[in-house]
Amino acid sequence: MHRRALLDLLARYAKRRPGEQALVRRFEEFVRGHEDCLSRSCRPGHVTASAWILSPCGEQVLLTHHKKLGKWLQLGGHVDGEPQVERACLREAQEESGMQRFSFVSGDDALTPLDLDVHAIPARAVEPEHLHWDVRFLLQAAPAQPLVCSDESNRLEWVEAGALSTFTQEESVLRLHRKAVELRR
């Protein structure tokens, strides 16, 4: 089953985050119930992958001002059929930041997502409103890499952790920061 790797990630997440069992069950039901969940063709919604990117020193996070949504967010996007969602996360981080070298930060021997999030994407042109089932990972950028803004962003910005709330009040973004801090303790 091409969704087995994703279900394994969700199982590891459930073990790490016992207080989020209802969310994990929702994800699992969606993944099991939609064979095309990894593709944009899945009309009710589809799996996406995001990266919460730490600077090489770990004191800053990388935010993008998203063109379509007009908000400061973490980097990420569609998995486009990639069954290893962490690979899609890495691809999106590379495409949207211009940086090429990252390491996953998981806190375990086995890679585990940092966060899960389900959010609605508004209708646009011929695309109806749909859900993004976002699997989020913690990455740390390697040193000495320039940022290159992609066509999907207005701007990229390294943000000091203490200044994060001046860029965004999006709870899902602030939650990523809280979980990253907790994981790195």
Measured CA to CA, the distance from residue 120 to residue 87 in angstroms comes to 23
The tally of domains found in the chain comes to: 1
Domain span at residue 77?
A: 4-184
- For the cut 80, the answer to whether the pLDDT of residue 108 exceeds it is no
Identify which has the larger pLDDT, 63 or 68.
63
Measured CA to CA, the distance from residue 123 to residue 68 in angstroms comes to 11
Are 94 and 100 a contacting pair, CB within 8 Å? yes
Which CATH number goes with the domain that contains 151? 3.90.79.10
The reported pTM is 0.95
pLDDT tens digits, residue range 66-102? 988 899 999 999 999 999 999 999 999 999 999 999 9
**What is the 8-class DSSP label of residue 124?**
B
